[in-house]
């Protein structure tokens, strides 16, 4: 590291006059960047920062303090980038001092884990049933609407305990965005956010809190991240997607959801990818974002940051599956490439058109 | 002597530091709560809305949850705690008393998350499968014990809190009882009272201190966050039933602060902190008044209150 630093400094010193003369192309010497925000993508981000640091010497410090706190740090200008599981609404964007660009990095899925003793076939749920359960309108498992989606399954007469996340979370944002997309009543009554006013059920803290309640309460159903459900081997429900097929949650079906929303994402990358088109799309999916100011103050940092993002959306994707994240489909990578070209530092483009 | 003077000033400054920090905390909290105070005014305290999507905020469900869970905790912990303290101080062989009070002090140092996990994985299944069905079957005519028993909720939170604050009640009450003069008991016995009556005299003399112990316990119950969050169910609905889920002020702050976006939302959470601060002050003041009222201001022995 010290050797590389020394070399980089000498290299920079040699180039500096030329660079100044050219008025651009600041050398990417051993930079350090700071970021803060979402906890959901923290495992893959820290892996990326390690890999990227080894490859280029760029040090990235990231604090996973939660999306909301990360957004505040971006607003205060104390970090070079923020990270959030929920895209900023127009209101939130207006609170920002300058224009903020969203870069989706990976996709995640939210799944419904349940606890029904005595049933062996995976539970099948329609969008209407999920909304009615969380609205408190279906209260027992042997309700005919649940039974209609599960032919040949003997459902118990047990009461349903709908479990949600008590702490504000991107997982809740994805799930409530989905409910808002498929149920007009939910959209009017509750809406979508990282925390909402739940009409029924109980809250558990974190994925582990929700999973703990589901596991020990017969008749409970709750939503958790796909990665968490996979690692803990929770039974999860199949959900009928927009194409009318019951699909199982997986990394592939999550990527398919992002691909199915590509046209809308090209117009506005903040569009939720829930209830996406496509026969294999898992309907309860979401992207997680890096938040970056469009006009950067420090050209050298801006270049380092843009290079990192370009690396993360291309080479970085190869480690996604191993860490239980769904990779970005090609169409979304293209959207990111276009966004990268809009970044400027002191009025000049950070990345030359390529 | 200049050294005396310097020493006096140094200690004075150290003593002043505590009220200064308290005032700073109050000032910063009030400043952070500013936007929410301006938008919602006093309505914040009586509104049951807590809707981050529509940005309408009201603290009543959390105020209610804090008071009810603490009330359950006190109802369970105070009689139990005083009973144990009387036994340990008055009746138990001294060696047993020392061992038991060591264990009780140990209980006080267990991190609250451990109590939370115990509440979630041990207490909740027992409440769900045994205690709560029994309650609904036998005293279910009371609105307090209606609804389907899921094991987590206000009752679970109250019990966990009670266990967390019992050590405070026991160890302070025991110390106070041990500090009451032997002559009180001897005088009572000499006047022909029974053993129980003599103990009652000692307990009466220790009353201000025992009330002080209960106040300290209440303070801990009001502010406890982690364990309560894990077992209370976290919903912003007010329900008469103790079996139903609820939420407390401390738990909603812990749950929502990190992911709260938007100035008004954050400000409303800070205002919750301000309300909790005010509630703690009010409860402490009321409790102190209670001490004065019940003892007529006398401070016979170990007047800890």
**Looking at residue B286, which CATH number applies to its domain?**
1.10.3720.10
Q: Are B145 and B239 in contact (CB under 8 A)?
A: no
Q: Are B202 and B184 in contact (CB under 8 A)?
A: yes
- The DSSP result for B207-269, as a single string, is HHHHHHHHHHHHHHHHH--HHHHHHSB------S-TTS-B--HHHHHHHHTTT--SHHHHHHH
The pLDDT score that the predictor gives to residue B212 is: 86
* B216/B218 Cα distance (integer angstroms): 5
Of B50, B124, B256, nearest to A167 by CB-CB distance is B256
Inter-CA distances, A329 with A38, A245, A335, Å: 21, 21, 10
Structure tokens of A56?
């280029």
Answer whether residue B7 is part of any domain: no
Check A193 against B125: CB less than 8 A apart: no
The residue ranges of every structural domain in chain A are 3-107+285-349, 110-267
Inter-CA distances, A180 with A3, A158, A189, A192, A236, Å: 55, 27, 9, 6, 21
Q: Is the pLDDT of residue A22 over 60?
A: no
* B162/B119 Cα distance (integer angstroms): 12
Helix (H, G, I), strand (E, B) or coil at B105: helix
Q: What is the phi/psi pair of residue A147, to 5°? A: -60, -40
The string of pLDDT tens digits covering residues B133-152 is 888 888 888 888 887 788 88
> What is the average pLDDT across A226-247?
91
Tell me, yes or no, if A218 comes closer than 8 A to chain B by beta carbon.
no
Q: Which of residues 278-297 of B touch A (CB under 8 A)?
A: none
Min Cα distance B240 → chain A (Å) is 15
* B153/A267 Cα distance (integer angstroms): 45
Residues facing residue A219 across a β-bridge: none
Instruction: Provide the 10 A C-beta neighbour count for residue A151.
Output: 8
Tell which of A40, A166, A172, A221 to mutate to test the B interface (max B CBs under 10 Å). Answer: A166
Tell me, yes or no, if A65 comes closer than 8 A to chain B by beta carbon.
yes
* B4/A13 Cα distance (integer angstroms): 62
**Which residues span the domain enclosing B278?**
33-304
Of A168, A203, A204, nearest to B259 by CB-CB distance is A168
Integer-rounded Cα radius of gyration of chain A: 22
* B176/B277 Cα distance (integer angstroms): 28
Structure tokens of A45?
């981000």
Query: Which pLDDT band holds residue A181 (cuts at 50, 70, 90)?
Result: very high
Dihedral (CA of B155, B148, B61, B270) sign: positive
Check A190 against B53: CB less than 8 A apart: yes
Check B260 against A194: CB less than 8 A apart: yes
If you measure CA to CA, which chain A residue comes closest to B254?
A167
* B162/B78 Cα distance (integer angstroms): 8
Q: Which of B65, B39, B62 is nearest to B262 (CA)?
A: B39
Answer whether residue B12 is part of any domain: no
Check B234 against A191: CB less than 8 A apart: no
pLDDT (tens digit, 0 to 9) for every residue of chain B, 305 residues total? 788 999 999 999 999 999 999 999 999 999 999 999 999 988 899 998 898 888 889 999 999 999 999 999 999 999 999 999 999 888 888 888 888 888 988 888 899 899 999 998 899 999 988 888 888 888 888 888 887 788 889 999 999 999 999 999 998 898 888 888 888 888 998 998 888 888 888 888 888 888 888 888 998 899 898 899 999 988 888 888 888 899 999 999 998 888 887 888 989 999 999 999 999 888 888 877 877 777 665 555 444 43
The pLDDT score that the predictor gives to residue A16 is: 43
Q: Is the pLDDT of residue A25 over 80?
A: no
The string of pLDDT tens digits covering residues A97-137 is 999 999 999 999 999 999 998 888 899 999 999 999 999 99
If you measure CA to CA, which chain A residue comes closest to B61?
A197
DSSP H or E segment with residue A302: helix A299-313
Beta-carbon contacts below 8 Å between A and B: 105
Q: Which of residues 262-301 of A touch B (CB under 8 A)?
A: none
List, in order, residues 6 or more apart from A33 with CB less than 8 Å away.
Answer: A58, A59, A60, A61, A80, A81, A301, A304, A305, A308
Check A88 against B261: CB less than 8 A apart: yes
* B122/B108 Cα distance (integer angstroms): 19
Check A192 against B53: CB less than 8 A apart: yes
Q: Are A114 and A220 in contact (CB under 8 A)?
A: yes
The pLDDT score that the predictor gives to residue B297 is: 55
If you measure CA to CA, which chain B residue comes closest to A213?
B120
* A111/A282 Cα distance (integer angstroms): 9
Tell me, yes or no, if A221 comes closer than 8 A to chain B by beta carbon.
no
Residues facing residue A113 across a β-bridge: A222, A236
Inter-CA distances, B291 with A32, A55, B108, B140, B200, Å: 60, 69, 25, 36, 18
ipTM value of the model? 0.80
Answer whether residue B5 is part of any domain: no
Q: Is the pLDDT of residue A4 over 50?
A: no
Q: Are A170 and B235 in contact (CB under 8 A)?
A: no
Tell me, yes or no, if A67 comes closer than 8 A to chain B by beta carbon.
yes
Domain A3-107+285-349 CATH class label:
alpha beta
Q: What is the pTM of this model?
A: 0.83
Helix (H, G, I), strand (E, B) or coil at B146: coil
Structure tokens of A51?
């890999």
The string of pLDDT tens digits covering residues A28-81 is 456 899 999 988 899 999 999 999 999 999 999 999 888 888 888 999 999 999
If you measure CA to CA, which chain B residue comes closest to A93?
B262
Q: Which of residues 203-242 of B touch A (CB under 8 A)?
A: 229-230, 233-236
- What's the gap between Cα B280 and its chain centre? 9
Spell out which residues of chain B touch residue A201, defining contact as CB-CB under 8 Å. 235
DSSP H or E segment with residue A108: strand A100-114
Q: Are B115 and B167 in contact (CB under 8 A)?
A: no
Answer whether residue B254 is part of any domain: yes
Tell me which CATH code domain A110-267 carries. Answer: 3.40.190.10
Query: Which pLDDT band holds residue A353 (cuts at 50, 70, 90)?
Result: low
Inter-CA distances, B68 with A202, B31, B115, B133, Å: 18, 29, 19, 21
Count the domains in chain B: 1
């Amino acid at each position: 590291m010290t050797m590389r630093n020394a070399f980089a400094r000498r290299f920079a010193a040699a180039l500096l006059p030329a660079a100044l003369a050219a008025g651009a192309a600041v050398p990417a010497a051993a930079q350090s960047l700071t970021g803060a925000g979402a906890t959901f993508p923290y495992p893959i981000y820290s892996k990326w920062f390690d890999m990227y640091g080894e490859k280029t010497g760029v040090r990235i410090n990231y604090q996973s303090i939660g999306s909301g706190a990360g957004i505040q740090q971006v607003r205060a200008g104390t970090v070079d980038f923020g990270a959030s599981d929920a895209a900023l609404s127009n209101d939130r964007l207006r609170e920002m001092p300058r224009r903020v660009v969203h870069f989706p990095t990976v996709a995640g899925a939210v799944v419904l884990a349940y606890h029904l003793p005595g049933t062996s076939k995976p539970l099948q749920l329609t969008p209407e049933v999920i909304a009615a359960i969380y609205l408190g309108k279906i209260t027992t498992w042997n309700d005919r609407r649940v039974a209609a989606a599960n032919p040949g399954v003997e459902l118990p007469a047990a009461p349903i305990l709908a479990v949600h996340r008590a702490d504000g979370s991107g997982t809740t944002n994805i799930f409530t965005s989905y409910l808002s997309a498929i149920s007009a009543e939910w959209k009017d009554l509750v809406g979508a956010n990282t925390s909402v006013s739940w009409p029924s059920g109980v809250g558990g803290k974190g994925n582990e809190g929700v999973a703990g309640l589901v596991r020990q309460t017969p008749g409970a159903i709750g939503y958790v991240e796909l990665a968490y459900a996979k690692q803990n081997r929770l039974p999860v429900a199949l959900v009928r997607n927009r194409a009318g097929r019951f699909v199982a949650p997986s990394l592939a079906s999550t990527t398919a959801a992002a691909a199915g929303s590509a046209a809308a994402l090209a117009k506005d990358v903040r569009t939720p990818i829930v209830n996406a088109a496509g026969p294999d799309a898992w309907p309860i999916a979401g992207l997680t974002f890096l938040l970056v100011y469009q006009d950067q103050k420090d050209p050298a940092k801006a270049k380092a940051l843009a290079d990192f993002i370009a690396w993360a959306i291309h080479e970085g994707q190869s480690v996604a599956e191993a860490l239980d994240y769904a990779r970005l489909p090609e169409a979304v990578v293209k959207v990111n490439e276009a966004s990268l070209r809009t970044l400027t530092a002191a009025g000049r483009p950070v990345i030359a058109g390529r | 002597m200049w050294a005396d003077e310097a020493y006096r000033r140094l200690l004075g400054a150290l003593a002043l530091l505590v009220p200064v920090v308290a005032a700073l905390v109050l000032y910063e909290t009030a400043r952070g709560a500013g936007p929410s105070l301006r938008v919602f005014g006093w309505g914040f305290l009586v509104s049951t809305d807590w809707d981050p999507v529509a940005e309408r905020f009201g603290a009543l469900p959390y105020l209610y949850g804090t008071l009810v869970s603490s009330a359950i905790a006190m109802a369970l912990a105070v009689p139990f705690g005083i009973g144990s303290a009387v036994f340990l101080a008055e009746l138990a062989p001294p060696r047993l008393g020392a061992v038991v009070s060591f264990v009780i002090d140990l209980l006080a140092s267990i991190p609250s998350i451990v109590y939370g996990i115990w509440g979630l994985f041990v207490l909740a299944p027992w409440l769900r499968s045994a205690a709560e069905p029994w309650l609904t079957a036998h005293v279910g005519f009371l609105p307090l014990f209606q609804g389907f028993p899921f094991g987590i909720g206000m009752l679970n939170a109250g019990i966990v809190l009670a266990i967390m604050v019992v050590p405070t009640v026991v160890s302070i009450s025991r110390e106070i009882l041990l500090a009451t003069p032997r002559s009180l008991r001897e005088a009572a016995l000499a006047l022909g009272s029974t053993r129980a009556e003599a103990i009652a005299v000692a307990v009466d003399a220790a009353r201000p201190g025992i009330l002080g112990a209960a106040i300290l316990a209440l303070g801990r119950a009001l502010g406890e966050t982690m364990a309560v969050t894990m077992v209370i169910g976290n919903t912003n609905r007010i329900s008469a039933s103790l079996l139903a889920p609820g939420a407390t002020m401390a738990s909603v702050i812990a749950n929502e602060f990190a992911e709260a976006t938007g100035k008004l939302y954050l400000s409303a959470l800070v205002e919750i902190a301000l309300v909790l601060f005010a509630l703690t002050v009010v409860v402490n003041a009321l409790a102190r008044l209670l001490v004065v009222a019940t003892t007529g201001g006398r401070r016979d022995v170990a007047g800890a209150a």
